[in-house]
Structure 1
Amino acid sequence: MKLTVVGGGSTYTPELIDGFARLRDTLPIEELVLVDPAADRLELVGGLARRIFARQGHPGRIVTTADLDAGVDGADAVLLQLRVGGQAARQQDETWPLECGCVGQETTGAGGLAKALRTVPVVLDIADRVRRANPRAWIIDFTNPVGIVTRALLQAGHRAVGLCNVAIGFQRKFAGLLGVAPSEIHLDHVGLNHLTWETAVRLGGPEGEDALPALLTGHGDAIAADLHLPRPLLERLGVVPSYYLRYYYAHDEVVREQRTKPSRASEVARMERELLQMYGDPALDEKPALLAKRGGAYYSEAAVDLAAALLTGSGSPYQVVNTYNNGTLPFLPDDAVIEVQAAVGPKGPTPLPVTPVDPLYAGLTANVTAYEDLALDAALRGGRDRVFRALLAHPLIGRHAHAETLTDTLVAHNREHLAWA
């Protein structure tokens, strides 16, 4: 089995490598290719990756290359984890929206749209080259904004599934609070990527007892603290929202914080410098503890589980993925990309039935889906008017004066990445 990671020079990659090494019986990789145009980073990450495999006794071969076509040739699955423009572009995404009093964030709002515009054309080019190399290869997208990128891939006819680590993070958190194995936790997870709610926490499987009321009663303070939301709000909702919902439920508070604190991008850039220095130590043969603060917790377990299910039919029978709606949420179009529990196998994911969604969540989900339609149109066809329409439709913006200003600022900051600008 050959697996290729595009963006293999990312500081995330040792987390992924550690999972591949530990879970080699679930996903028996014979050849792992790390592809990245940044030769200096790739050399450091690749060296650490080989040492991790050696320490854990993994027999697989690790190859590093800047040649995308060579890297994806013959690959059974290709995992995308790239960042067009790097941390410098992320720093911009998180700061210029604040000038209009809007949240600065790399996956939602104006910053998220900028990232989508930069990313979708690049990902589609990669996917076309993957298809030419092996039409049966699966593409696993971890590149944000996952929902929009996955929809672009699916609309273009690629064998693609979107992956996010939010659900597996909740699964591990709830399992720890309840004192059970993570495999015993089945989430009723519903919404869009980075716009989801845990409406039930079932023990043992899709039909199991719902432990969410007990979690909120017994551990509400801890859950609320993790989300940076007040416990009374969670009790009124009766669900656990993704931490990304804080950008909606506490928008003005978040903007005030962002205006006075260093950006997340600057913190990540600092951590990346430290991590790359660590990766260059020839004595290091395990992922360093600092990597846990970089983000992407449990990413490796989720990626291994998904790849194993798609390639071999093994792995967990149900997984949270991003895929076509196809009637699962009746208030959305069939070709919307949703994030829900699905049965996953070699034929791809099939979403599980979802209980009726409260209008409180359905309304926001439909609104953001409409924005994602317009965002993808802007990413595929370009043009200032399409960017403006997407910004005006986003519930975190929604004011024409802000949309006008943000459109001009977005284009100015991203001109080098926009073929039409």
Structure 2
Amino acid sequence: MKLAVVGGGSTYTPELIDGFARLRDTLPIEELVLVDPAADRLELVSGLARRIFAKQDHAGRITTTTDIDAGVADADAVLLQLRVGGQAARNQDETWPLECGCVGQETTGAGGLAKALRTVPVVLDIAERVRRTNPDAWIIDFTNPVGIVTRALLQAGHKAVGLCNVAIGFQRKFARLLEVEPGQVHLDHVGLNHLSWELGVRLGGPDGENVLPKLLAEHGDAIADDLRMDRRIVDRLGVVPSYYLRYFYAHDEVVRELGTKPSRAAEVAAMEKELLEMYGDPALDEKPELLAKRGGAFYSEAAVDLAASLLGDGGSPVQVVNTYNNGTLPFLPDDAVIEVQARIGRDGATPLAVPALDPLYAGLIANVTAYEDLALEAALRGGRDRVFKALLAHPLIGQFDYAEGLTDRLIAHNREHLAWA
């Protein structure tokens, strides 16, 4: 089995490598290709990757290339983990929206739209290269904003599934609180990427006992603290929202908070510099503890599980992924991309049935889906007016003057990445 990781020079790649090494029985990789235009980072990351494989007695071969076509050739699956513009672009996404009184975040609001506009054309170009080289390969997208990027891939006819670590993070957290193995915890996870709720937590499978009320009663403070939300929100809803819902439920508070401290991008950039220095140490043969602060917890386990299920029989039969709606949520079009539990196999992802949703959740999902429609149109076709309409439609913006000011700032800060600007 051959896997390619596009964006393999990321400082987060050793987390993925560690998962591949530990879970080699689930996903028996013979060759892993790390693809990245930054040759210097590739050298540091791949050196540590090979040492991790060696320490854990993984027989797989790790190679590197800056050539996308060469890297994806003959790959059974291609994992995309890109950041177009790097941490510098992310820093902009997290700062200029604050000038208009709107949240600055890399996957939602105006910053999220900027990231989508930069990213979608690049990902589609890579996907076309994969299709020309080996049309049977699966594309697993971990590149944010996952929902919009996955929809772009599916709409263009690619074999793609979107992946996020939010659900597996909740699964692991709830398993620890319940003192059970993670495999025993099934989530009633519903929504869009970075706009989701855990409506139930079931033991043993989709039809198991719902222990969410017990979790909230016994561990509500800890859960709310992890979400950085007021306990009252969790209690009032009776469900566990993704921590990204904080940008919606406490928008003004978050804007004030973000205006008083360095951006997350600045923190990560400093962390990345330190990590790369560590990776250059020939004595280091395991992922450093600092990497846990980088973000993306349990991504490696989720990626292994998904790839194993798409390519064979090694993964879990049901996983939370991003895929076409196809009637699962009746208030959305079939070609909307949703994030729900789905049955995974060689033919892809088939969402499980979802009970009728409270309008409190369905309304916000529908609103953000409308924004994502417009965001994808802007990413594919460009133009100031399309950018403006997407911003005006976003529930975190929604005012004419805000959308006007944000449109000008978005284009000014991203002109080098926008072919039409």
Fold equivalence (TM over 0.5): yes
Superposed CA deviations along residues 149-202 of structure 1, whole A, max 9, x for unmatched, are 000000000000000000000000000000000000000000000000000000
Work out the CA distance in 1 between the residues paired with 2:107 and 2:232: 27
Work out the CA distance in 2 between the residues paired with 1:230 and 1:176: 22
SS in 2 for 1:161: strand
Matched, 1:29 2:46: no
Matched residues, percent identical? 83
> Match of 1:148?
148
Matched, 1:114 2:114: yes
Cα drift, residue 139 of structure 1 = 0.1
Cα drift, residue 296 of structure 1 = 0.5
> Match of 1:383?
383
SS in 1 for 2:401: helix
> Match of 2:337?
337
SS in 1 for 2:376: helix
> Match of 2:161?
161
SS in 1 for 2:262: coil
Superposed CA deviations along residues 242-286 of structure 1, whole A, max 9, x for unmatched, are 000000000000000000011100000010001000000000000
- Give the 5 Å matches for 1:37-76: 37-76=37-76
Superposed CA deviations along residues 336-359 of structure 1, whole A, max 9, x for unmatched, are 000000000000010000011110
Work out the CA distance in 2 between the residues paired with 1:89 and 1:115: 8
Work out the CA distance in 2 between the residues paired with 1:205 and 1:65: 42
Residue type matched to 2:192 in 1?
Answer: L
Matched, 1:181 2:181: yes
Superposed CA deviations along residues 283-318 of structure 1, whole A, max 9, x for unmatched, are 000000000000000000000000000001321111
> Match of 2:256?
256
Residue type matched to 1:315 in 2?
Answer: G
Moved more, 340-349 or 312-321: 312-321
> Match of 2:80?
80
SS in 1 for 2:353: coil
Q: Which runs of 5+ in 1 are unaligned?
A: none
Superposed CA deviations along residues 36-58 of structure 1, whole A, max 9, x for unmatched, are 00011110000000000000000
TM-score of the two chains, using structure 1 as the length reference: 1.00
> Match of 1:356?
356
Cα drift, residue 79 of structure 1 = 0.1
> Match of 2:244?
244
Matched, 1:282 2:302: no
Residue type matched to 2:129 in 1?
Answer: R
Work out the CA distance in 1 between the residues paired with 2:269 and 2:137: 33
Work out the CA distance in 1 between the residues paired with 2:417 and 2:263: 22
SS in 1 for 2:37: coil
SS in 1 for 2:143: coil
> Match of 1:20?
20
> Match of 1:316?
316
> Match of 1:420?
420
Cα drift, residue 230 of structure 1 = 1.1
Q: Which runs of 5+ in 2 are unaligned?
A: none
SS in 2 for 1:260: coil
SS in 1 for 2:322: strand
Residue type matched to 1:103 in 2?
Answer: V
Residue type matched to 1:339 in 2?
Answer: E
Residue type matched to 1:128 in 2?
Answer: E
Work out the CA distance in 2 between the residues paired with 1:119 and 1:13: 19
Work out the CA distance in 1 between the residues paired with 2:47 and 2:400: 50
Work out the CA distance in 1 between the residues paired with 2:306 and 2:107: 22
SS in 2 for 1:62: strand
* RMSD (Å) for aligned C-alpha atoms: 0.4
Residue type matched to 2:284 in 1?
Answer: L
SS in 1 for 2:62: strand
Matched, 1:292 2:292: yes
Work out the CA distance in 2 between the residues paired with 1:290 and 1:366: 38
Matched, 1:371 2:374: no
Residue type matched to 2:385 in 1?
Answer: D
Cα drift, residue 232 of structure 1 = 1.6
Work out the CA distance in 2 between the residues paired with 1:306 and 1:123: 20
Work out the CA distance in 2 between the residues paired with 1:304 and 1:420: 38
Work out the CA distance in 1 between the residues paired with 2:197 and 2:305: 22
Runs of 4+ in 1 over 4 A off after TM superposition: none
Cα drift, residue 231 of structure 1 = 1.0
> Match of 2:125?
125
Aligned residues: 421
SS in 2 for 1:103: coil
Residue type matched to 1:132 in 2?
Answer: R
TM-score of the two chains, using structure 2 as the length reference: 1.00
- Give the 5 Å matches for 1:206-245: 206-245=206-245
SS in 1 for 2:259: helix
> Match of 1:100?
100
